[in-house]
Structure 1
Amino acid sequence: MDDRSDMILLDDAVSYSISPENPTGEKGKGAMASEGFGAGPARELGKGWKIRPCELIKPGETLTIADIDGSGMIESMWFGGVVDKNFILRIYWDEMAKPGVECPLPDFFAYGWAETMDDQWMKGPFYTLNSSQVVVGPIRGMNCFWKMPFRRHCRMTVENRTERDYMCFYQINYIRTALPENIGYFHAQYRQSKPLRQGEVHTALSGVQGKGKYVGLAMSIGLNGDGRWWGEGEVKIYLDGDQEAPSICYTGTEDYFGGSFNFEVDGAYTTYSTPYLGMHYYRKPDGLYNIQPRFSMYRWHVQDAIRFQSDIRIEIQDLGWTRKDLYLARRDDIFTVCFWYQTLGNTCFPRLPDSRELRIVSE
């Protein structure tokens, strides 16, 4: 399913798209709304002229944005407009009681420091992300291209944990099609250490049971305490019963994300965004109130998925220097989302942090 040459092959799959203009995704049922956010601007044009471009989710409410029966696969998703870490995305596969995806909406798109300031849609932090699986375009147009198959049912919800109305713009593109027997179900799990306790490691993924493929990590970090370089920490991947030592160990944080030697070019951090990996965001301290340097990175294992037969655990060290010859265990703020495919089973997600724990302060 990863071979892009399948675009030239004709098949029997049928395309559908769910949006506020066609909330069920039914054939021939788009742009039929008579009420919605655009009813006023379209009053001279009438039905079919962008009457319902978004759904309103009130504080404390959860909206089901997709409810699909049958065998199929989500091929892409788009969300636009206001973003906040307290808008929570969940996806449930084949009528499972627990979600396979549970994540703050912006973090799902490797956008851990994203926030709209005071409901001013055109303001607030923005940075472009250009990759094969996730693209974020001006301004905060969040696109996902992970393939997400399901055999019997898919349900997708968005919860509004904020104290303001959420105008949710979205598009869910999927196909109905037969699937091979050996499909894996897409999963995404959010974790945060805010801050990490000094001398401990950040656990990015645990509790996974089943056979699968680990396919990606999005990570954001905000630096606390002593300065100097912060990314000496190793990324350790424990597979199929590994306990004391991992099967796979990357030699440094920036190394895992495809960089080298501190992401530094001529005395400055240098951002980059490529199809499979990048360090796409760096915010400098402003010398006054915003004193925490902030970074966001991603690594998609599209070309080198890591297989596991029964379980997987991922840990990340938070490691810097006290001086040139002595490491320093740091205590930074770390947010991660791991992405993987697996058989449906008893994978255990941790408790999602509450709204106060998730909140970020930008100014």
Structure 2
Amino acid sequence: MNIDLSNIFLKRDAESRSLSAENPAGDKGRGAMADPKGEGPARDLGRGWKVRPCIDLDAGETAILMDHDGPGVIRHMWFTFSQEFYRDVIVRIYWDGQSRPSVEAPLGDFLCCSWNRRQNVLGLPINVNPSGGMNIYFPMPFRKHARITIENDSPNPLAHFFYTVNYTLEDVRDDALYFHGCWRRSNPLEHLKEHVILDDVRGQGQYVGTFMAWQQNDAGWWGEGEIKMYIDGDRQFPTICGTGTEDYFGGAWGFGDDFTAPYLGFRQVVGKSQEVGARMTLYRFHVQDPVFFREDLKVTMQALGWRAGRRFLPLRDDIASVAYWYQTLPHAPFPPLAGRDEREIV
């Protein structure tokens, strides 16, 4: 089921399929069948040319991008749309007929592009290229069924939403887990509280990534806080505890510069770090170092700066995050997704 450079040459019992506006059902031999009917840029060319490359979403409309039986594996998804809608377009993914989504997040943040700004990301699982071409390569196996929806939770219509979902029809191993993703925001973070990245996970699995969108509301360094991972019954104290925010994301000594690497990245999106109102994004993918859990998992991040007398200052910053993980089904219910006003970037 796994594909990489070490085995890409091997014969496989698999069939390739691709969903897009040009073949929304993904049926074999049914792509590029839209008829321009004498309209649009392809009106002189007819069927078989570029007629329907994207879809439009009315305000409040939900579109179904995938609603297909398995077994199979989603191998890659690509999206591009107006950056003004990055927090308004909500992606939801349902596995094997579950009534609750295993992925629920604003699509921009889910793909490491927050603050309604385009950002290039040279990560391996998530890769974003000029100008706003967003790709995700986390493999997503499903046994019975996969359903993907996109909701335009905005009062404005969204034109020119482009997408591609590439997947294979093939057997899925008995020990394959299901991909999950969940978005949360603390705005502002409560005094003396930690930002909760993930909580109340029940089942067996592995944690594979963190994305954060961070606005600092005080001047000075903001990244002294530690990540904590509570595993399999941990209560007051975690099993895994970091040493600083920039340390967890692979940097050191306050970052200084932007960087984007296969598993780690930091970017100053609006303003400069250590300035009031600076907006930043950070990511870490635990591809080589998944965090395994057998029963339950909770992940938090502290927000700490400095105050007089070399004392830590608990911060009340605007922090949003996406957690990425694999686990067994069924999963525990997610907290209700924040409404548009609570997600809004102002």
Task: Please indicate the TM-score interval, normalised by the length of the shorter structure.
Answer: over 0.9
Q: What residue is the counterpart of 2:258 in the other structure?
A: 271
Q: Root-mean-square deviation (CA), in Å? A: 1.7
Alpha-carbon distance in structure 2 between the residues aligned to 1:281 and 1:33: 42
- Deviation at 1:81? 2.3
1:289-308 equivalence runs, <5 A: 292-308=277-293
1:323 to 304, 308, 311: 308
Q: What SS does structure 2 have at the residue aligned with 1:262?
A: coil
Q: What residue is the counterpart of 2:89 in the other structure?
A: 87
- Deviation at 1:35? 4.7
Instruction: Provide TM-score, normalisation by structure 2.
Output: 0.95
Q: How many corresponding residue pairs? A: 341
Matching of residue 243 in structure 1 with residue 235 in structure 2: yes
Which letter maps to 1:272? Answer: F
Instruction: Provide TM-score, normalisation by structure 1.
Output: 0.91
- Deviation at 1:324? 5.7
1:1-363 equivalence runs, <5 A: 1=2, 3-35=4-36, 39-83=39-83, 84=85, 85-113=87-115, 115=116, 125-167=117-159, 168-224=161-217, 226-264=218-256, 270-284=257-271, 292-323=277-308, 325-361=310-346
Which shows bigger deviation, 341-350 or 207-216?
A: 341-350
Alpha-carbon distance in structure 2 between the residues aligned to 1:231 and 1:285: 14
Determine if contact 2:231/2:298 at 8 Å carries over to the other structure. Answer: yes
1:360–1:35 distance in 2 versus 1, CA, 3 Å = farther
Q: Which runs of 4+ in 1 moved over 3 A?
A: none
Alpha-carbon distance in structure 1 between the residues aligned to 2:5 and 2:299: 29
Determine if contact 2:64/2:147 at 8 Å carries over to the other structure. Answer: yes
Cα shift readout 1:62-117 (whole Å, capped 9, x = no counterpart): 1101111120000000001213201000000000000000000001111121x2xx
Determine if contact 2:15/2:169 at 8 Å carries over to the other structure. Answer: yes
Alpha-carbon distance in structure 1 between the residues aligned to 2:245 and 2:36: 50
Alpha-carbon distance in structure 2 between the residues aligned to 1:285 and 1:253: 17
Alpha-carbon distance in structure 2 between the residues aligned to 1:260 and 1:285: 17
Cα shift readout 1:212-246 (whole Å, capped 9, x = no counterpart): 0100000010011x311000000000000100100
Alpha-carbon distance in structure 1 between the residues aligned to 2:143 and 2:293: 22
Q: What SS does structure 2 have at the residue aligned with 1:302?
A: coil
Q: What SS does structure 2 have at the residue aligned with 1:107?
A: helix
Alpha-carbon distance in structure 2 between the residues aligned to 1:208 and 1:5: 33
Which letter maps to 2:93? Answer: I
Q: What SS does structure 1 have at the residue aligned with 2:336?
A: coil
Determine if contact 1:129/1:280 at 8 Å carries over to the other structure. Answer: no
- Deviation at 1:3? 4.9
- Deviation at 1:328? 0.1
Which shows bigger deviation, 202-211 or 6-15?
A: 6-15
Which letter maps to 1:58? Answer: D
Alpha-carbon distance in structure 1 between the residues aligned to 2:241 and 2:165: 36
Alpha-carbon distance in structure 1 between the residues aligned to 2:104 and 2:152: 13
Determine if contact 2:230/2:297 at 8 Å carries over to the other structure. Answer: yes
Which shows bigger deviation, 215-224 or 40-49?
A: 40-49
- Deviation at 1:262? 0.4
Determine if contact 2:102/2:331 at 8 Å carries over to the other structure. Answer: no
User: Could you list the runs of 5+ residues in structure 1 that have no partner in the other structure?
Assistant: 116-124, 265-269
- Deviation at 1:42? 0.7
Cα shift readout 1:175-232 (whole Å, capped 9, x = no counterpart): 00001100100000001001101211100001210000100000010011x3110000
Alpha-carbon distance in structure 2 between the residues aligned to 1:61 and 1:262: 42
- Deviation at 1:166? 1.6
Alpha-carbon distance in structure 2 between the residues aligned to 1:360 and 1:102: 18
Which letter maps to 2:250? Answer: G
- Deviation at 1:291? 5.5
Determine if contact 1:127/1:281 at 8 Å carries over to the other structure. Answer: no
- Deviation at 1:46? 1.2
User: Could you list the runs of 5+ residues in structure 2 that have no partner in the other structure?
Assistant: none
Which letter maps to 2:11? Answer: L
Q: What residue is the counterpart of 1:267 in the other structure?
A: none
- Deviation at 1:39? 4.3
